[in-house]
Structure 1
Amino acid sequence: MQTADDHWLSEEEFDAAVQDALTRLPRRLQRHIDNVVVFVADEYEPEPWEAPDTELLGLYEGIPLTERGNEPWAMPDQITIFRNPLERMCSTREELVEQITVTVVHEVAHFFGIDDDELHRLGWG
């Protein structure tokens, strides 16, 4: 008998699902991903000016490739994947793993300069 917690992944499994999503990106894109760190966090903490119930699945912070110069001193861009919101929105383990992949692809797309409107048009929103 399945319980409501059966779809959850351990921290290690969740991290592995994020890593797997990154390694499944096409190689022609992977070779352009440089100076980017990827984190997993439990929850997004909204900024003071945001609605307190803002719930994000992932967040890209940085300068998209389409807007970069050639500053050798640039801090790494950061992608954060939020574990708890992903778990709350999914009802099965398979759905959770698939949504992790969708979220990773979505955030990596922001790194490449693709905005939310274009991602929604492409079915990755």
Structure 2
Amino acid sequence: MNAVDNVVFLIEEEPTEEQMVGTELVDGQPGLLGLHEGTALTDRDDGWSGALPDTIFIFRGTMSRLCESREELTEEIAVTVTYEIAHRFGIDDDRLHDLGWA
């Protein structure tokens, strides 16, 4: 099984208000770089066969405000995508921080 089977990757300008629930603003702007919406693979059972795809969002506006160069943007996109895929595998923020991904 491919680790990202049944996942949709979307680039959005900004997160919605609903996506921002529980997150912080940075200088009055959304600080959310990416988001995994779905159920972690570790929380699924056999009944998930044929389920709608999870979605990983990357937020262009937040990235653009954070990064000062194309190289920095490229690196941040790679880190954010990795981070969100990790959430798909049930790895939480604390563990990602422990592993040096934040």
Higher strand share: 2
Identity of aligned residues (%): 49
Q: Which runs of 4+ in 1 moved over 4 A?
A: none
Count of aligned pairs between the two proteins: 96
Determine the structure 2 residue equivalent to 1:102: 79
Q: Which has the larger radius of gyration?
A: 1
Determine the structure 2 residue equivalent to 1:63: 39
Kindly indicate whether the alpha-carbon contact (under 8 Å) linking 1:60 and 1:110 is maintained by their aligned counterparts in 2.
yes
Pick aligned residue for 2:64 from 72, 87, 101: 87
Relative to the length of structure 2, the TM-score reads 0.84
Pick aligned residue for 1:111 from 85, 88, 91: 88
Pairwise CA RMSD of aligned residues? 2.1
Q: Deviations over 1:26-78 (max 9, x none)?
A: xxxx8222111100000011229837844310000111110111222311100
Higher helix share: 1
Pick aligned residue for 2:5 from 19, 34, 40: 34
Kindly indicate whether the alpha-carbon contact (under 8 Å) linking 1:62 and 1:77 is maintained by their aligned counterparts in 2.
yes
Rounded to whole Å, the distance in 2 between the matches of 1:49 and 1:58 is 11
Relative to the length of structure 1, the TM-score reads 0.69
